[in-house]
Amino acid sequence: MRELVHNGERIRFTVDSGPQGATVGLGESRHELTVQEHGAGRFIICNQRGSFAARAVREKDRIWVWLAGRIFELVVPGAETADHAHHAQAANDVRAPMPGTLVKLLVAPGDAVEKDQVVAVVEAMKMEHSLRAPRAGMVESTFGAPGGIVDAEAVVVSLAVEE
């Protein structure tokens, strides 16, 4: 059994690899897929629904996956990393996944946002990455300006603490 943390939730899964591909087990469901590597961090993932281009970057205990226009931040749990992932989610911050240029800042302090709403766009590795609100809420503050450089893990938008 393997485990990753996404949005503060532990995801337990199995991977059975064979010559024709892999079977990923999530709970009671099984998913057949093949993965073709196309250069460093670039993949084509194929399943019964079709073929999908993906990118993946790992830095220490974090993995960022770009798939179907969405960014997924995963944490490889350990005693302190699982706790860190929970606290990072609770911090209400939208962070840049990697160093890049802030292309668009789509919200301002006081704006209401919905869960998964795109709040900013960062360009990195010649790709635009949409940064999404982790939950519905009110924007407390924004950091940076379009055209500015952001570091990996830099807070771009902070949501007000829920009461």
Looking up residue 125, the CATH number of its domain turns out to be 2.40.50.100
Domain coverage including residue 31: 2-82
pLDDT value of position 163: 64
Domain termination residue (choose one: 54, 82, 110): 82
Domain termination residue (choose one: 82, 117, 149): 82
pLDDT value of position 7: 81
Separation of alpha carbons 141 and 156, rounded Å: 8
Number of helices followed by number of strands (H, E) in the chain? 1, 16
Same domain, 75 and 110: no
Same domain, 62 and 108: no
Same domain, 128 and 63: no
Same domain, 78 and 114: no
Look at residue 87 and tell me if it is in a domain. no
Same domain, 52 and 112: no
Look at residue 20 and tell me if it is in a domain. yes
Same domain, 6 and 78: yes
User: Which of 85, 86, 89, 83 minimizes the C-alpha distance to 161?
Assistant: 89
The alpha carbons of the chain give a radius of gyration, in whole angstroms, of 17
pLDDT value of position 79: 41
| Number of domains forming the structure of the chain | 2
First and final C-alpha spacing in the chain: 37
pLDDT in tens, the chain (163 residues): 788 888 888 888 888 877 778 889 888 899 999 988 887 788 899 999 999 999 988 887 888 889 888 888 888 887 444 455 445 444 588 988 888 899 999 999 999 999 989 999 999 878 898 999 988 999 998 988 899 888 888 889 989 887 6
Alpha-carbon distance values, 138 to 92, 122, 163 (Å)? 10, 21, 12
pLDDT value of position 62: 84
Same domain, 72 and 46: yes
Joined together, the tokens standing for residue 49 give 């629904």
pLDDT value of position 108: 93
Same domain, 58 and 17: yes
pLDDT value of position 82: 45
Look at residue 45 and tell me if it is in a domain. yes
Element housing 86 (H / E): helix 79-90
Same domain, 64 and 128: no
Alpha-carbon distance values, 65 to 40, 74, 135, 158 (Å)? 13, 8, 20, 22
CATH code at 20? 3.30.700.30
Domain termination residue (choose one: 64, 82, 100): 82
